[in-house]
Amino acid sequence: MKFNIAVLAGDGIGPEISKSGVAVMSAVCNKFGHSVEYTYAICGADAIDKVGNPFPEETYQICRKADAVLFSAVGDPKYDNNPTAKVRPEQGLLAMRKQLGLYANIRPVQTFECLLHKSPLKTEIVRDADFICIRELTGGMYFGEKYQDDNKAYDTNYYTRHEIERILKVGFEYAMQRKKHLTVIDKANVLASSRLWRQIAQEMEPLYPEVKTDYMYVDNAAMRMIQEPTFFDVMVTENTFGDILTDEGSCISGSMGLLPSASVGEQTPVFEPIHGSWPQAKGLNIANPLAQILSVAMLFEHFDLTEEGKMIRDAVKASLDANIRTQDIQTDNHAPYSTTQVTDWIVDYINNCEL
């Protein structure tokens, strides 16, 4: 295949882990005889500083024309404690999702046997946890009507039937490919939007008779996820709930630096780590590149290139087993490796793989 990849490195540790993703992408393409071209584009705080817009039109055009976007992270502390800032780096990410129509965010939560002890949860609870959170990504409170003055503010959790149906379809289809267990997460005891979700999910259930569908309130799901994460196979939920639950999910794996994601929908798919820009670590070469590298595995798998994806997953597993790990996941008696050292080790591993 001939790949044309848009690379959006963004802010904080973004540029460092972006390089890791590109290096691994190139190594795998080289190994399998794919050609790849990268087009770099600005976003986030970096783009605000340069052109005053966190997702400039030029960046959108580069993304639109690409086969896939390799995205890293956006965010800068100078905006975090300034509620009056008119333009924020995160708006760039939201604009990208909206303009590319990326309504489905696929966030797998998996464990690595050698890292089970890194989870704040007990090993016997997290062992074998393996589920996918399908998060709706272009609707709900993130994009509904908003208002803010000095005395009142609101966000509207607006969802249409069309938006709900298409994301539930993704959920049912993922469940069909996995253990055929779908959990629809909502707050139907309180929210009208959730009641419509539940109604539509119940209407769709007969279309997927093999899937065991259950319904869970989000507060209960938050508890269940740390009490018995192995209960879940595929969960599907609205934008805000999915944002919150997937950060919780990262505790199951042991580090935020391990979880990749894919955002798919109408236009170019985006592959990105779920973690943020970790500004405190910027330039220190200590960030864990694995979430970004595993995002590249998801990129290949999206194009049905499963061998390519598997090679990356094998390389990541081998690096963990060999204790070539950044400080967030290193065990006490081993020195931590830097972002570039972990990346170089994984690239070497791929270069040395036999096909």
Q: Where are the beta strands (DSSP E) in the chain?
A: 2-10, 35-40, 68-73, 104-110, 130-136, 146-148, 153-155, 181-186, 212-217, 234-237, 260-264, 270-273
Contact of 111 with 252, CB cutoff 8 Å = yes
Q: How far is Cα 48 from Cα 42, in angstroms, rounded to an integer? A: 9
3 state DSSP class of 260: strand
Shortest distance, position 237 Cβ to ligand IPM, whole Å: 13
69 binds, among Mg ion, ligand IPM, none (CB under 5 to 8 A by kind): none
Nearest-CA neighbor of 353 among 121, 31, 30, 39? 31
- The structure tokens listed for 226 are 């740390």
22 or 94: whose CB is closer to Mg ion?
94
Residue 44 contacts which entry, Mg ion, ligand IPM, none (Cβ below 5-8 A, type-dependent): none
289 binds, among ligand IPM, Mg ion, none (CB under 5 to 8 A by kind): none
Q: How far apart are CB 73 and ligand IPM at their closest, in Å? A: 8
Which of ligand IPM, Mg ion, none does residue 93 bind (CB under 5 to 8 Å by kind)?
A: ligand IPM
Query: What is d(CA 255, CA 152) in angstroms, rounded to the nearest whole number?
Result: 37
219 catalytic per annotation: yes
CA-based nearest residue to 254, from 114, 143, 91: 114
Q: Catalytic residue among 130, 247, 314, 344, which?
A: 247
- Smaller CB separation from Mg ion, 239 or 268: 239
For the bound state, the minimum distance from the C-beta of residue 80 to ligand IPM, rounded and expressed in Å, comes to 11
Burial class (CB in 10 A: 0-12, 13-18, 19+), 113: exposed
Q: Name which of 105 and 213 has its Cβ closer to ligand IPM.
A: 105
Encoded tokens for 300: 């290949």
> Which is nearer to ligand IPM, 102 or 201 (by Cβ)?
102
Catalytic residue among 214, 219, 321, 348: 219
Shortest Cβ distance from residue 98 to ligand IPM (Å)?
12
Give CA–CA dist 12/223, Å, rounded.
32
90 binding partner (options ligand IPM, Mg ion, none; Cβ < 5 to 8 Å by kind): ligand IPM
In the numeric block, which tokens belong to residue 262?
């894919």
Q: Is 349 part of the annotated catalytic residue set?
A: no
Minimum separation from the CB atom of position 247 to Mg ion (A): 5
From 60, 79, 103, 142, the catalytic residue: 142
Q: Which of 103, 243, 337, 349 is catalytic?
A: 243
Considering beta carbons, is residue 243 or 328 the nearer one to ligand IPM?
243
- Is 187 an annotated catalytic residue? yes
Exactly one of 187, 217, 337, 349 is catalytic; name it: 187
State in angstroms the smallest separation of the CB of 332 from ligand IPM: 30
Q: Rounded CA gap, 316 and 346, in Å? A: 7
Known catalytic membership, residue 348: no
Name which of ligand IPM, Mg ion, none residue 309 binds, using a CB cut-off of 5 to 8 Å depending on partner kind.
none
Point out which residues bind ligand IPM (CB under 6 A).
Answer: 75, 90, 93, 243, 274, 276
Nearest-CB residue to ligand IPM?
Answer: 90
Nearer to ligand IPM, 47 or 274 (CB): 274
Tokens at 195, concatenated: 């009641």
Tokens at 93, concatenated: 């990410």
Task: Output the CA angle 10-15-17, nearest 5 degrees.
Answer: 115
Does the active-site annotation cover 247? yes
What is the closest distance, in whole angstroms, from the C-beta atom of residue 90 to ligand IPM in the complex?
A: 4
Q: Residue 120 in contact with residue 152, Cβ under 8 Å? A: no
C-alpha 272/C-alpha 70 separation (Å) is 6
Q: What are phi and psi of 69, to 5 degrees?
A: -110, 130
Length of the chain: 355
Query: Which of 47/347 has CB closer to ligand IPM?
Result: 47
Residues that bind Mg ion (CB under 5 A): 243
Which positions are catalytic?
142, 187, 219, 243, 247
